[in-house]
C-alpha cells in the first residue's frame, strides 16, 4: 500500500539508501519467478495392479494405463483434480478425476490403447453378442442383468462373470445352467446361481421321466354295508 511504500522509501539514518534501494539492488536479483501452477497436496497409493482391460481401479472407477503395462503393478498419485499413474519415477498416464459419487465409470486415453483394431472395449452390445453365441437362455440371463441396474455399465461385470463360465466349462453347459436357473424362481440369475449348478453337474443330470398313467384298480377287498352297520361278527 501507499503507507508501506512511503515507509520503505524513507532514507536510513546511519547509512546511505533506503529499504527500497537495498531491495532493488541486492535482493530482487536473487528472486526466482513463482511457479506457473499452484502447489497441490497429493497422496500416493502403491502397488495397484493393471487389469486385463488396461485400466486401474480407484474409488470404484477405472482409469487407463498404456496397454504395454497390463498385468504389472503401478503407483498412483492423487490430487484434488488429477490422478497420475507412475511406474518407478516414470509417469505413464494422467487423468482428470471423475466426479465424487460416480461409480463404475471409465476414463480412457486413446494413446493408452493398442493401435489398429486389436482392441475392442467391453460394453453391453458386445456382451449380448457373446451371449448370443452361447444360446437363447444365456441371452435372457444377460438381458435381465442389464435390465436390473439403472445404468447398463453397472451390470457389465456381472454379465461378463456369467459369460466367462463358458471358458471354464462349455457354451452348451452354460446354456443348460441358464435354462435351469430361469426355470426356477430366480428372476435375474447371476454367477452365484449358475456356478454351483455347473460345479455340481446339475446341468448334466438326466431328465426325469414323466410319471406313467396307470389304470385305476377296479378290484380289491371291499367291506360291505353290513360291516359298517355293525352286522359284522
d(CA 74, CA 49): 6
Please, which pLDDT band fits residue 222 given cuts at 50, 70 and 90? low
pTM for the structure as a whole? 0.48
> Grid coordinates 436390473 are at which residue?
148
From residue 205, alpha-carbon distances to 173, 174, 176, 197, 230 in Å are: 11, 14, 10, 10, 55
pLDDT recorded at residue 35:
86
Mean pLDDT of 216-220: 52
Please, which pLDDT band fits residue 228 given cuts at 50, 70 and 90? low
Burial 122-131 (b: 16+ CB within 10 A, else e): eebeebbebb
Q: Is the pLDDT of residue 160 over 60?
A: yes
Instruction: Report the run of H or E that residue 123 belongs to, with start and end.
Output: none
Mean pLDDT of the chain: 86
Closest CA to 121 of 72, 60, 52: 52
DSSP state of 18: B
Q: Is the pLDDT of residue 208 over 50?
A: no
Q: Is the pLDDT of residue 224 over 80?
A: no
d(CA 85, CA 121): 20
Amino acid at each position: 500500500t501507499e503507507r508501506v511504500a512511503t515507509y520503505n522509501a524513507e532514507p536510513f539514518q546511519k547509512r546511505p539508501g533506503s529499504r527500497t534501494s537495498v531491495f532493488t539492488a541486492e535482493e530482487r536479483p536473487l528472486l526466482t519467478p513463482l511457479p506457473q501452477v499452484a502447489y497441490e497436496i497429493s497422496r500416493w497409493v502403491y502397488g495397484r495392479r493393471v487389469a486385463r482391460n488396461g485400466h486401474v481401479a480407484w474409488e470404484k472407477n477405472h482409469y487407463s494405463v498404456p496397454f504395454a503395462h497390463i498385468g504389472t503393478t503401478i503407483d498412483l498419485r492423487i490430487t484434488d483434480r488429477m490422478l497420475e499413474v507412475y511406474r518407478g519415477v516414470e509417469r505413464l498416464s494422467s487423468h482428470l478425476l471423475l466426479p465424487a459419487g460416480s461409480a463404475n465409470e471409465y476414463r480412457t486415453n486413446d494413446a493408452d490403447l493398442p493401435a489398429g483394431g486389436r482392441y475392442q472395449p467391453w460394453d453391453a452390445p458386445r456382451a449380448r453378442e457373446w451371449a448370443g453365441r452361447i444360446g437363447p437362455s444365456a441371452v435372457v440371463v444377460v438381458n435381465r442383468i442389464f435390465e436390473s441396474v439403472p445404468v447398463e455399465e453397472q451390470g457389465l461385470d456381472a454379465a461378463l462373470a456369467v459369460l466367462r463360465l463358458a471358458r471354464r466349462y462349455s457354451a452348451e453347459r452354460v446354456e443348460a445352467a441358464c435354462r435351469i436357473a430361469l426355470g426356477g424362481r430366480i428372476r435375474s440369475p447371476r454367477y452365484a446361481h449358475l456356478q454351483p449348478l455347473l460345479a455340481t453337474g446339475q446341468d448334466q443330470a438326466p431328465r426325469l421321466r414323466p410319471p406313467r398313467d396307470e389304470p385305476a384298480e377296479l378290484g380289491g377287498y371291499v367291506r360291505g354295508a353290513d360291516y359298517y352297520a355293525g352286522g359284522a361278527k
